[in-house]
Amino acid sequence: MNKDSKIYVAGHRGLVGSAIMRKLQQEGYTNIITRTHKELDLTSQAQTQEFFEKEKPEYVFLAAAKVGGIHANNTYPADFAYINIMIESNVIKASYDYGVKKLLFLGSSCIYPKLCPQPIKEEYLLTGPLEKTNEAYAIAKIAGLKMCQYFNRQYGTKYISVMPTNLYGPNDNFDLETSHAFAALLRKFHEAKINNKPYVEVWGTGTPRREFLHVDDLADAVVYLMNNYDENEPLNIGTGKDITIKELAGLIKEIVGYEGEIKFDTTKPDGTPRKLLDVSRLHATGWKHKIELREGIQSTYEWFKGNWK
């Protein structure tokens, strides 16, 4: 990308899209185009085609998606499958029709089989059954990733895909029903502290292991890869380190400064037992994460206190 290349960030208000915007602006990219959901419904093929015909972006970051935590994924599978497949199909096809030079597709680490060997290598994709709580989202993301590869194979396009691990940071969704674990726990411990609640409820057994990447690191990685990665093979993005949900809860509790108890609600699902990405292919490109978890929790908590309402 040149500093004046026309770049479309799809989903620029979300956790990932807003971080990509911050990164591009910091690096001096001057020609970024966006549309709010209200201005452009990417599930509409007609609207998407019209937008691409008018704007003709050169580069596309495809960060628009319906996302959510374990409960939302488990409760609204039709929406997760339908909306994501529509957005991907429309944006990828319009990118081809209107000559986009390069597109970066955001997949997810939940596309891998539920019980795959750890850490998870990119080649484990489609080697076993998926985790049921997020199967619909995973199927949709696999479809998007594969579609990028098929367009590359058939039409010689340059569409790359990445699989980020569990993300956190500013502009996350802090709704307790639909959010991911990180955001929910940060809010729960904060509110318990403010309201002097005797305990905080953590879903599941606390034993599942997850890897957490700050979204500013993800944004740094995807801008780097847009400029430096041209392979047809998708790439994991993570830190290469994981912790249990119980340990995460303990860390957040300590950073928030909450002194009550933690209770586990085992009527809630655990999801996949472990999800740790193998990041050797990513490191071979020359990129490595910079924000460690403790410092990431601290800065996200500062952001949360100043911005969340």
128: amino acid identity, one letter: G
Q: Determine if 110 is a binding residue for ligand GFB (CB under 6 A).
A: yes
Q: Determine if 70 is a binding residue for ligand GFB (CB under 6 A).
A: yes
Looking only at residues 77 through 96 of this chain, which bind ligand GFB when binding is defined by CB under 6 A? none
Q: Determine if 179 is a binding residue for ligand GFB (CB under 6 A).
A: yes
Structure tokens at 141: 């993301």
CB of 57 to ligand GFB, least distance (A): 26
Measured CA to CA, the distance from residue 158 to residue 100 in angstroms comes to 9
- 263 forms beta bridges with 201
Measured CA to CA, the distance from residue 165 to residue 305 in angstroms comes to 25
- Comparing CB distances to ligand GFB, the nearer of 160 and 181 is 181
Q: Which of 12, 102, 114, 180 binds ligand GFB (CB under 6 A)?
A: 180
CB of 186 to ligand GFB, least distance (A): 10
Q: Which of 18, 48, 73, 89 binds ligand GFB (CB under 6 A)?
A: 73
CB of 113 to ligand GFB, least distance (A): 14
Measured CA to CA, the distance from residue 307 to residue 43 in angstroms comes to 30
Q: Does residue 14 contact residue 40 with C-beta atoms inside 8 Å?
A: no
- Just list the catalytic residues: 137
Residue 141 marked in a binding site:
yes
Residue 16 marked in a binding site:
yes
Residue 176 marked in a binding site:
no
- Comparing CB distances to ligand GFB, the nearer of 66 and 158 is 66
Q: Which of 11, 57, 69, 144 binds ligand GFB (CB under 6 A)?
A: 69
Q: Determine if 203 is a binding residue for ligand GFB (CB under 6 A).
A: yes
Residue 41 marked in a binding site:
no
Q: Which of 108, 161, 171, 239 binds ligand GFB (CB under 6 A)?
A: 108
Q: Determine if 239 is a binding residue for ligand GFB (CB under 6 A).
A: no
Count interface residues toward ligand GFB (CB under 6 A): 27
CB of 99 to ligand GFB, least distance (A): 31
- Name the segment binding ligand GFB (CB under 6 A); options: 82-90, 132-140, 149-157, 211-219: 132-140
The binding site for substrate comprises 188, 203, 210, 270
Binding site, by residue number, is 11-17, 106-109, 141, 164-167, 180, 188, 203, 210, 270
Residue numbers of the site for ligand GFB (CB under 6 A)?
Answer: 69-71, 73, 108-110, 133-134, 137, 166, 179-181, 184-185, 202-204, 208, 210, 245, 268-272
